Amino acid sequence: MKIIMLGAPGAGKGTQAKMIAERYNIPHVSTGDIFRANIKNNTELGRKAKEYMDKGELVPDELTVSILLDRVAQDDCKTGYVLDGFPRTIPQAEILDQELTKLGETIDFAINVDVPDENIIRRMSGRRACVSCGATYHIEHIPPKKEGICDTCGSELILRDDDKPETVKNRLNVYHTQTQPLIEYYSKKGVLRDVDGTRDMKDVFDDITSILGQA
C-alpha cells in the first residue's frame, strides 16, 4: 500500500504518517527527516537544503527527487510506504508517477489533512524542538515536563526558524501556490481522500484507518 500525505505545513500529516506506518507496518518516508539528518551532519545537501528551509521556501526538485527515489527503492519499501513531505509540486508528482509506472506501480491513496491557515499558525508557533535528539513538543498540547528542557535527553528546546510565525505565513503562501494544486491532481486520479485535521489526533487517525481499511 503506497500512500501520500497531503496538507499544509503544520496540519499534522507527519504525526498521522507515523501512526499509519506503525499500524500497517510500512516505512514512514519523510523528506523533512532526511533533510534534517543531512543538516545535522552538515552534508553538502544539508547546507543547501537549510538555506531554503530557514526562509520557509521549498527545497528545489533536483535536491529532493533523487534522495526520495533512492529511499523508496530500498528493500523495506517493497510492500508499501507512506510519503510525508513529497511530492510538494506537480512536477515532483509527475516524476514520481513516471518512476512508479516503470515499476508497474501506482499510488493507492493520497490523504489530505485539511486545516485552516489560522489554526496552523497557532499550532506551529507553539512547537519546540530539541537541539540534540530532535524530539518535538508543543507548549499547549505536548508540553515537556520541565519548560524549555527535553524530557528525553535534557537538552534545550528551541523554536525552530521554520516554525516562527513570519516564516509559517511564508510557508503557507508557498503551500497554496505550489503544493495545494496536488489536491486536484490526485483527485483527478481518483485516489484523493479528505479528512478534517482540526479534530482530535485520534479522531483524525480513525477517519484515515476507515479509508485505508483495518489491519
Q: Which residues are catalytic?
A: 13, 88, 127, 160, 171
Q: Which amino acid is at 64?
A: T
Set of cell numbers at residue 60: 528545489
CA distance 106 to 101: 7
SS3 content of the chain, % helix, strand, coil (to 5): 50, 15, 35
Q: Are 114 and 205 in contact (CB under 8 A)?
A: no
Set of cell numbers at residue 180: 495545494
**In this structure, what are the phi and psi dihedrals at residue 118, rounded to the nearest 5 degrees?**
-65, -35
Set of cell numbers at residue 209: 484507518
Nearest one of 54, 49, 47, 60 to 89, comparing CA atoms: 60
Sign of the dihedral defined by the CA atoms of residues 55, 60, 63, 66, in that order: positive
